[in-house]
Amino acid sequence: MAYPGYGGEFGNFSIQIPGAGPDVILGGFSGYPAYSDPYSSADDPMYAYFSAVAGQDGEVDAEELQRCLTQSGISGTYSPFSLETCRIMIAMLDRDYTGKMGFNEFKELWAALNAWKQNFMTVDQDRSGTIEHHELREAIALMGYRLSPQTLTTIVQRYSKNGRIFFDDYVACCVKLRALTDFFRKRDHLRQGFVNFVYDDFLQGTMAI
């Protein structure tokens, strides 16, 4: 990461992902389009979980999302999602910057969570409910990310506890990878793996996650 011409609050800087040109997958289930509901939401069985906690505006905040996901049972035998993980889930899909999530966004999140959960179960070969460092690296690779060994080491250190990664932390990692990759891609118009950021734009995009 280079910071050419950095001059304080409104300085510019550049971020480059080596080898991340147009033919390199940075994905990890980041390609989901915004969910479009072709029929009445009330006819959707998942809507019951959502509507039970949604406010009059038809949206949920982080605490409501936490209750919604707990009631839905999507975490299975794993511990319920933490409030912080729910906050970054909302931030990942909060395209109108309300700090809340509507039902269509919830459906999109649900699809991503199911994919991440299946991936977690695939690499959790000993069925311990946690994964080790090498299994997290394998999970990230399965999602299509091509990261440097240094970046993988940083991620492992950030999300492991006593050498193990729990499902909640794994999901938080997946959310940040997707959100930050989407943030980068929107600005990498030529798909070269290199972007010039205005400092304030960078802060807005990263501090929100």
Per-residue pLDDT tens digits for 173-197:
999 999 999 989 988 888 888 888 8
pLDDT for 171 beyond 90? yes
Q: By residue range, what is the domain housing residue 154? A: 45-208
Residue 71 domain-assigned (yes or no)? yes
Q: What is residue 90's predicted lDDT score, i.e. its pLDDT?
A: 95
Instruction: State the average pLDDT over residues 71-81.
Output: 90
Residue 159 domain-assigned (yes or no)? yes
pLDDT for 52 beyond 80? yes
Contact 37, 50 (CB under 8 A): no
Residue 179 domain-assigned (yes or no)? yes
* Residue 41 binned pLDDT confidence (cut-offs 50, 70, 90): low
Q: What is residue 45's predicted lDDT score, i.e. its pLDDT?
A: 80
Q: Across the chain, what does the average pLDDT equal?
A: 80
Structural domains of the chain, count: 1
Residue 2 domain-assigned (yes or no)? no
Per-residue pLDDT tens over the stretch 80-122: 999 999 999 999 998 888 899 999 999 999 999 999 999 999 9
Q: Which residues of 98-127 are buried (b: 16+ CB within 10 A; e: fewer)?
A: eebbbbebbbbbbebbeebbebbeebbeee
One-letter amino acid at 115 equals A
pLDDT for 35 beyond 90? no
Per DSSP (E only), the strands in the chain are 12-16, 59-60, 101-102, 130-131, 165-166, 194-198
The CATH number given to whatever domain includes residue 82 is 1.10.238.10
Residue 162 domain-assigned (yes or no)? yes
Residue 24 domain-assigned (yes or no)? no
Residue 10 domain-assigned (yes or no)? no
Residue 11 domain-assigned (yes or no)? no
* Residue 66 binned pLDDT confidence (cut-offs 50, 70, 90): very high
Instruction: State the average pLDDT over residues 3-17.
Output: 35
